[in-house]
Amino acid sequence: MQSAITQFSSWCSENELTISTEKANYILFSKMVRSPKITWNGYKINRVKSFKYLGIHVDDRLNWLEHINKQGEKAIKMQQYFKRIAGGNWGISEIHRWTLYKTVIERILAQGSSAWCLNPTFKMKRKLSSIQRPFLLHISGAYRITPTAALQTILGIPPLHMQLQFEARFTSIYRLRIPLPPFITDTQPHDLEMKVTGWPTHPSEHLKPNQISFEDGEAYIARKDIINIFTDGSKTEHGVGAAFCVLTNGIWAYQWYAKLNGNSVVFQAELTALHEAVIYASHLPNHNTSKIHVDNRASIMTSSNSKSTNETARKNFKILLSNPRMKVSWVKAHAGNIGNERADQLAKDATQHGQSYSHTKLPKPHIKVLLRKRMLEEWQTSWKNGDTGRKIYNIMPSVSLRPTNWIREDVIFFSQHGPFPAYLKRFHLSDSDYCSCGGIGTALHYAT
């Protein structure tokens, strides 16, 4: 290690680079009890147990507990601000407290989760749970003895380590392009639709002003000198379909339809139909003017944007740019337009009888849905097999990401806390836990 420091020092001298040795520290990833002595130009370099890089605290044991502790301290400070604007029965409403937790506190704790929470250890799970618990109590207004698992189910907030693991899994497969284990999902990174970067054309190149129109293009249908093309996409219980049809001199001259992957979204179907339509129009004779009628504004806008991050939209832009006689117009959907209605019916037929279209990849929401479903399954298993919060489990056996919207009194009552004999006896505030009728005096006993 000392030889490496000496070599780097020589390189700095050769390149006239000055390093502040007084500020230099080093971290050793080793089980050695005594650390080696390292000097740089006569200065002793101190050893540290952790350092901060890009907002992540890396410790010498690589167990990430240092980072969780630091983020937890930051979150606790935020909780103090929480207490200034809301209490158990005063201040902002529960839904606003829930929103603040999800959008502020959880985002603080999720810093760099893809690097450290892909496979959390038991200690990490326990620490994250202890950080999350005060916020759950504050949001619900429940008694301090209410189990954390019960509060999570009532509020629709997953255990913190599961939420962060979900985000880490998504980042790994979607952004880092790292495959996940088969027991989580069989989807591979190359199966997902990714954003494209860079400029597809020179920044000075734009479509002509008359090529794109967001006014209803129904008036052009009657013109004999224009080839009208109508596109549409549809999603039914049978699948996803895309289609376009061509109207020339009042005659339906051509039609195309195909069935997309069942996990595709309607926007992909609309964009695919437009893509196939511009390809068809690009092969028409140059003296013909074609008008493509689309009932989806989003697909028109992204296809006319030279900086679009959608790969199909960029292909559409290039074709439109090289064919100035090709025009795209918006048409109102389900307004009795004969061409739009025909394209809509073709797209619906394509969901059952169309040929498979293999050029579209899985959308971003698809992998999120899969990973969120996996998180809910793990949460449900943990809730079912847990040994705490059984009173709430008897009322709510299934977990959900939607809060119950119980008021504070409801949470206290259904968790069977409050001025009831069974609860008071538990804390030695009553000599008996029986009701006057002879039954155990729980909250539900008095309610039923």
Helix (H, G, I), strand (E, B) or coil at 338: helix
Q: For the segment 115-142, what is each residue's pLDDT rounded down to a tens digit?
A: 999 999 999 999 999 999 999 999 998 9
Distance separating the N- and C-terminal Cα atoms of the chain:
73
- Rounded Cα distance between 244 and 292, Å, is 9
Please choose, from the candidates 354, 145, 143, the residue with its C-alpha nearest in 3D space to the C-alpha of residue 264.
354
Average pLDDT over residues 55-64: 90
Model pTM score: 0.83
Q: Among the CATH numbers 1.10.760.10, 3.30.420.10, 3.50.50.60, 3.30.300.30, which is that of 212-360?
A: 3.30.420.10
Place of tokens 């069942």: 262
Please choose, from the candidates 440, 412, 414, the residue with its C-alpha nearest in 3D space to the C-alpha of residue 426.
440
Q: How many other C-beta atoms can be found within 10 angstroms of the C-beta atom of residue 341?
A: 15
Per-range mean pLDDT, top range of 284-298, 326-340, 366-380: 366-380
Residue 287 has pLDDT above 80, yes or no: no
Domain spans, the chain: 1-48, 50-194+362-379, 212-360, 380-446
Q: For the segment 192-244, what is each residue's pLDDT rounded down to a tens digit?
A: 999 988 888 888 888 988 899 888 656 566 666 789 999 999 999 999 999 99
Please choose, from the candidates 97, 388, 372, 353, the residue with its C-alpha nearest in 3D space to the C-alpha of residue 236.
353
pLDDT at position 278: 96
- Rounded Cα distance between 425 and 427, Å, is 5
- Rounded Cα distance between 393 and 153, Å, is 9
